Homo-oligomer: A and B are copies of this chain.
Amino acid sequence: MNISQAAQRSGLTAKALRYYESIHLLSPKRAGNGYRDYSERDLETLHFIRRARAVGFTVDEVRSLLVLHHNPSRRSHDAKALVEEKLTHIEAQLRDLREMRGALRRLADSCAGDESPECAILDSLCGGVCDG
């Protein structure tokens, strides 16, 4: 099938499909006219990529997952390790974001938010040492 059909059926964009090919995540055949020709197997790979991306894997990590996926002598241990590593990373991001959220809430709470130029937010960002 043509690229736009493959894009639609996979839930990705044609641009993304070309990108994935350019970095050798998959290599669809070419028709006689030079058009990409995606097989059902290619489509499965695209679905795999989309799902893996959706849970946070980078394309490089997706590449590793695809290698495991295509390797019949793989060990499920290796796939699980990739998932757990990603989990650890996401938990770190969650901690960072929660800290930012807390700081932002304190900033917002400290500020009247009115027509006055006096602003505890700007004062706080400046470290309390600025004159304006």
Nearest B residue to A94 via CB reads: B97
Q: How large is the interface on A (under 10, 10 to 19, 20 to 34, 35 or more residues)?
A: 35 or more
Q: Assess the A104–B76 pair: CB atoms within 8 A.
A: no
Quick one: closest B residue to A98, CB to CB? B94
Other-chain contact of A74, B94, B119, B129, B130 (Cβ < 8 Å): B119
Asked whether, in the complex, the Cβ of A127 is within 8 Å of the Cβ of B55, the reply is: no
Whether A29 sits at the interface, judged by CB under 8 Å, is no
The complex places the Cα of A117 from the Cα of B78 at a distance, in Å, of: 10
Say yes or no: A132 contacts B69, CB within 8 Å: yes
**Residues on B with beta carbons closer than 8 Å to the beta carbon of A84:** 108
Within 8 A of B (CB), among A75-91: 75-77, 79-81, 83-84, 86-87, 90-91
